Structure 1
Amino acid sequence: MDQVLPVPNPTKAYWLSEPHELARFRSTPDLPATCDVAIIGSGMAGITTAYHLLHSNKQPPNVVILEARELCSGATGRNGGHCKVKVPTFAGFTPGPGSSTVDDMAVYVHGIINGLKQIVEEEELDCEFELRRSFDIQLDDDESKRLKRIYDESAKAGSTWTRTVDYIDERFAGQITSINGANTAFTGPACSFWPYKFVSQLLARLLAQHPRSLNFQTMTPATSVTLSEDGSSAIHTSRGSFKAEKVVFATNPYTSGLISQFNDIITPIRGMTSHIVPKQPIHPHLSNTYNIDFGPEKGTDYLNPRPDGSIVVGGGKWLYNSDRPSWFNNFDDSMPFPPQTEEYWEGYMQRNFRGWEESGAELDKVWVGIMGITPDGWPHVGRVPGVKNQWMLAGFNGGGMSMILTVAKAVATMVKEDAGFDEVAGGLGVPDFWGTSEERLRVGKDEDLMVKRK
């Protein structure tokens, strides 16, 4: 297998349809010789880590951000654009070692939503941010009963996560959600925004506020990172090398390409998302985001109505799931899925939503995004195991929008204070089982081997 690195010429995502002036920006014609902190990756993880490093520091470090392709051209520019946790995730919650609970996870995600809103307002970002509710819809009767039983048991036990969740029974689920065949549904808090605009505009603010401290370099893939005897790191790129006292890997599915011990721990997988446009806006406007569970044979799609009346919707994994090489351990987002797979999105809104039958909604774009999955389903955050001056936040399992912001603040604090995960994460409410470690790598590889034997 080739080295896990972003490939050139990825498929064209809707979110990237309005390129920012920084899309191919380089602060300096050449790479600097040295820096205090190198951040690899310019998605949500990389840029918000830089924000927290620079924003509240009276003497900000010299930071270099490297991007292999154009600004924010990875998962952040290719996802669904909403932030939430599905009720099935709460219902099936299985933490790793530690004391953090499902209720801690709920509090954490609510904090992410509030934190995103705060940054949008303070930095005056025009990214179509909305505080919303989100539907989790079940079309399968058995799944409806299972989730209702767990919800009732959790509510009776006083679980925090149930306090902001509402249940809609079979009498009203179709009417309230507008979904054909809806059996039951839950609603919970969410937010949505244009992820690329959030990241690109926040980076622009940082470059304007810290012109001497921040250097941004696009079209500069990091090909390897090697340790020096003095504890610093040499960052090797397609354009040369430079020295960094500290390094942050904000590389999500591409992490194993630079940190070999994450082979079989953070695995790249391909997913599919689309943009659908009606001939004219449909009224009333769909105001909630959606996760639609079509049952065990098909799985779940995610859907985000845009303020202009168009729709971003992704999923459809059941169409290609049996062709494992087409998506598992595959980081090529330049290759579209076959036409017969992409056709799933044709007529999607007319088939599934009441009131859209005569909308004339047409498929505008279909694109591929690369996610990073882990054996236990949780990200790896903290010091790179066994390395003092390198940190990471990666492996978000397709849920990065609901995880990254506070993790980025935690990693920025670790870098500033030369600290590890256990010294910082608890104070910020980061779930304790997200911390990366040599032990977790060992257990993860064992779990991965067990999965492969099945």
Structure 2
Amino acid sequence: MTAMPAQHALPSWWRTQLHQLDDYVSSKSVPTESDFVIIGSGISGASVAYHILQQHKGPKPPRLTILEARQACSGATGRNGGHLKPDPYSFISKLAAQYGPEAAEEVAEFEKSHVDAISNLVKSENIDCDLVVTKAIDVQLNPRECKKVKASLDHLLGIGVKSAKRVNVTDRKEAEVRSRVKGALGCFSYEAGHIWPYKLVLHILGRCVEQGAKLYTHTPAQCISPEKDASDRWTVDTPRGTIKTKYVVIASNAYTPAVLPMYSNNIVPVRGVCCRIVPTLPVKSLTETYTLRWSWSEFDYLIPREDGSVIVGGAWSKYYRDMDTWYNNTNDNEIIEPAKEYFDGYMQRNFHGWEESGAYVDQIWTGIMGYSADSLPHIGQVPGKPGQFIIAGFTGHGMPQAWLSGKGIAAMVAEGIPFAKSGIPRIFETTQARLEKNRNDILETMGEVTKPSARL
């Protein structure tokens, strides 16, 4: 399948109040020259652009061009579950086993810092994006998995990974009362947030345009020249003309292989599904975010909205066996049929107190995530391509990783700071060695969940 975005994507609820920049085009043709070209207008691209402009010290602002294949923030950021959820223990335990406790803790602290960084950004920029800082509750519904997760958490504490201390554990006796989830066998809770991601990103893009950035929606980067020209610049081709630039930042996540074919086996488009559920009768509102987990790789997630609705994503158990419906699939213009009815009665089925709520699915949509073959983002200078930088492959977990990764990329691009001093976790750095690894965590995970014992 092509790695370019599909046209006429299903409407995401986050994109129901469109910003004036949603279809914005700065001029009929793109500039022939630009100091920086950023491909992608989601949270990653917006962060890079914002921080380049913030960090700039000269009298004249840099010439900065943002290219977007569809509408502004119409990819994963504008179609996700609204979570701003750092992971202090779950995937961190896997990182500790593979890369050591120090590297794992570096990732956990980096993710945690996103809650403060985005909270401070929202306050300083006065952004209306419904940010709520609360607790996340991971609810375990499989006894074997619950025991395994508790053992992993204890192991992290034993080897001194301090992020694990932030996790509060509720055992089986109190889990259902604590979480209000039917059949809960254990709860793991910690600080997290939720947000209206589209509103956050469009506000930031607006600030960039005010400061002179050029934004071109409906203007895909069709290709980047394989080599630099005689003046040491890359050429970026678009339907609105060609741009010469010294620096290109590829912030297109799942669609990265369209302009960087060398990443085609390392960043794979993976299709997921989200919906908005609305109660029709009064119900005791949820105040925390949730993950309902049947196995390490089989789970749903949700956030409560202040209007009483909930955004729920997941349903993977209904379609993962049919790889064509989700793996290397960029069709966010159609629903995943096996998941279509999964969310009907979801809140009544899973939550105490919602049985008589009359909750129904108000809107359902798909979105395309950029899954990395080794489960880690690819960030930094593209190997063998000086002046090209990548920030992509967030594996459905970009909200607590992308904003400060963008800040680090901006420092590398605009100030020449090396990756090691960028503030980005060392294991996120894109390298030739990572590209050459014969590994595919995505398909390995699918193999695990097809075992009969995976879900009880």
Which TM-score bucket, shorter chain as reference? over 0.9
Contact 1:231 1:388 in 2 (8 A): no
When residues 308 and 165 of structure 1 are mapped into structure 2, their CA distance, relative to the original with a 3 A threshold, is same
The one-letter amino acid of 1:406's match is: L
Return the alpha-carbon distance in structure 1 between the equivalents of residues 400 and 322 of structure 2: 29
**Deviation of 1:405 (Å):** 1.1
- What residue in structure 1 maps to residue 347 of structure 2? 349
Return the alpha-carbon distance in structure 2 between the equivalents of residues 280 and 382 of structure 1: 50
Find the partner of 1:447 among 439, 442, 453.
Answer: 439
- DSSP 3-state at the match of 1:294: strand
* Long gaps (5+) in structure 2: 448-456
Once superposed, what is the RMSD of the aligned Cα atoms? 1.9
The one-letter amino acid of 1:293's match is: R
When residues 13 and 380 of structure 1 are mapped into structure 2, their CA distance, relative to the original with a 3 A threshold, is same
- What residue in structure 1 maps to residue 302 of structure 2? 303
Residue 120 of structure 2 is aligned to residue 89 of structure 1: no
Return the alpha-carbon distance in structure 2 between the equivalents of residues 177 and 276 of structure 1: 19
- DSSP 3-state at the match of 1:101: helix
When residues 54 and 156 of structure 1 are mapped into structure 2, their CA distance, relative to the original with a 3 A threshold, is same
Residue 40 of structure 2 is aligned to residue 41 of structure 1: yes
- DSSP 3-state at the match of 1:373: strand
When residues 99 and 93 of structure 1 are mapped into structure 2, their CA distance, relative to the original with a 3 A threshold, is closer
- What residue in structure 1 maps to residue 454 of structure 2? none
- What residue in structure 2 maps to residue 155 of structure 1? 157
Return the alpha-carbon distance in structure 1 between the equivalents of residues 200 and 283 of structure 2: 26
**Deviation of 1:265 (Å):** 0.6
Return the alpha-carbon distance in structure 2 between the equivalents of residues 44 and 92 of structure 1: 26
Once the two structures are superposed, residues 252-271 of structure 1 have per-residue CA deviations (whole angstroms, 9 ceiling, x without a partner) of 00001100100111011100
Return the alpha-carbon distance in structure 2 between the equivalents of residues 449 and 349 of structure 1: 31
Once the two structures are superposed, residues 101-126 of structure 1 have per-residue CA deviations (whole angstroms, 9 ceiling, x without a partner) of 22222211111111001110010000
- What residue in structure 1 maps to residue 173 of structure 2? 171
Once the two structures are superposed, residues 43-87 of structure 1 have per-residue CA deviations (whole angstroms, 9 ceiling, x without a partner) of 000001111000132323110001100010000001111122344
Contact 1:67 1:220 in 2 (8 A): yes
- What residue in structure 2 maps to residue 187 of structure 1? 189
Residue 110 of structure 2 is aligned to residue 108 of structure 1: yes
- What residue in structure 1 maps to residue 81 of structure 2? 80
- What residue in structure 1 maps to residue 208 of structure 2? 206
Return the alpha-carbon distance in structure 2 between the equivalents of residues 228 and 131 of structure 1: 45
Residue 287 of structure 2 is aligned to residue 293 of structure 1: no
- What residue in structure 1 maps to residue 431 of structure 2? 437
- DSSP 3-state at the match of 1:275: strand
- DSSP 3-state at the match of 1:134: strand
When residues 96 and 374 of structure 1 are mapped into structure 2, their CA distance, relative to the original with a 3 A threshold, is farther
Contact 1:96 1:433 in 2 (8 A): no
Q: Please list, as runs of the form range in 1=range in 2, the aligned pairs for 1:116-135 lying within 5 A after superposition.
A: 116-135=118-137
When residues 100 and 404 of structure 1 are mapped into structure 2, their CA distance, relative to the original with a 3 A threshold, is farther
- DSSP 3-state at the match of 1:172: helix
Return the alpha-carbon distance in structure 2 between the equivalents of residues 95 and 263 of structure 1: 27
Return the alpha-carbon distance in structure 1 between the equivalents of residues 243 and 100 of structure 2: 38
When residues 93 and 114 of structure 1 are mapped into structure 2, their CA distance, relative to the original with a 3 A threshold, is same
- DSSP 3-state at the match of 1:51: helix
**Deviation of 1:281 (Å):** 4.9
When residues 15 and 281 of structure 1 are mapped into structure 2, their CA distance, relative to the original with a 3 A threshold, is farther
Stretch deviating more after TM superposition (265-274 or 153-162): 153-162
**Deviation of 1:206 (Å):** 2.3
- What residue in structure 2 maps to residue 411 of structure 1? 409
**Deviation of 1:152 (Å):** 2.4
- DSSP 3-state at the match of 2:219: coil
Return the alpha-carbon distance in structure 1 between the equivalents of residues 370 and 252 of structure 2: 9
Instruction: Output the TM-score relative to the length of structure 1.
Output: 0.93
**Deviation of 1:96 (Å):** 6.1
Q: Please list, as runs of the form range in 1=range in 2, the aligned pairs for 1:346-385 lying within 5 A after superposition.
A: 346-385=344-383
Return the alpha-carbon distance in structure 1 between the equivalents of residues 238 and 102 of structure 2: 39
Contact 2:108 2:163 in 1 (8 A): yes
Return the alpha-carbon distance in structure 2 between the equivalents of residues 293 and 195 of structure 1: 24
Contact 2:374 2:440 in 1 (8 A): no
Paired positions, count:
440
Return the alpha-carbon distance in structure 2 between the equivalents of residues 38 and 155 of structure 1: 44
**Deviation of 1:449 (Å):** 11
Return the alpha-carbon distance in structure 2 between the equivalents of residues 121 and 375 of structure 1: 36
Identity of aligned pairs, percent?
35
- DSSP 3-state at the match of 2:144: helix
Return the alpha-carbon distance in structure 2 between the equivalents of residues 320 and 293 of structure 1: 16
Q: Please list, as runs of the form range in 1=range in 2, the aligned pairs for 1:257-276 lying within 5 A after superposition.
A: 257-276=258-277
- What residue in structure 2 maps to residue 242 of structure 1? 243
Once the two structures are superposed, residues 188-216 of structure 1 have per-residue CA deviations (whole angstroms, 9 ceiling, x without a partner) of 110111000000011112222x13xx111
Return the alpha-carbon distance in structure 2 between the equivalents of residues 272 and 341 of structure 1: 8
**Deviation of 1:25 (Å):** 0.6
- What residue in structure 1 maps to residue 330 of structure 2? 331
When residues 330 and 42 of structure 1 are mapped into structure 2, their CA distance, relative to the original with a 3 A threshold, is same
Once the two structures are superposed, residues 364-410 of structure 1 have per-residue CA deviations (whole angstroms, 9 ceiling, x without a partner) of 11111001111210000000110111111000000000110111011
Contact 2:14 2:79 in 1 (8 A): yes
- What residue in structure 1 maps to residue 452 of structure 2? none
Once the two structures are superposed, residues 255-302 of structure 1 have per-residue CA deviations (whole angstroms, 9 ceiling, x without a partner) of 01100100111011100111101114522x211101110247x81001
**Deviation of 1:314 (Å):** 0.4
Contact 2:138 2:290 in 1 (8 A): yes
- DSSP 3-state at the match of 1:257: helix
Contact 2:101 2:160 in 1 (8 A): no
The one-letter amino acid of 1:111's match is: S
- DSSP 3-state at the match of 1:92: helix
| Structure 1 ranges of 4+ moved more than 3 A | 94-100, 448-452
When residues 96 and 412 of structure 1 are mapped into structure 2, their CA distance, relative to the original with a 3 A threshold, is farther
Contact 1:281 1:310 in 2 (8 A): no
When residues 451 and 323 of structure 1 are mapped into structure 2, their CA distance, relative to the original with a 3 A threshold, is closer
- What residue in structure 2 maps to residue 30 of structure 1? 29
- What residue in structure 1 maps to residue 451 of structure 2? none
**Deviation of 1:220 (Å):** 0.5
When residues 317 and 449 of structure 1 are mapped into structure 2, their CA distance, relative to the original with a 3 A threshold, is closer
Q: Please list, as runs of the form range in 1=range in 2, the aligned pairs for 1:220-239 lying within 5 A after superposition.
A: 220-226=219-225, 227-229=227-229, 230-239=231-240
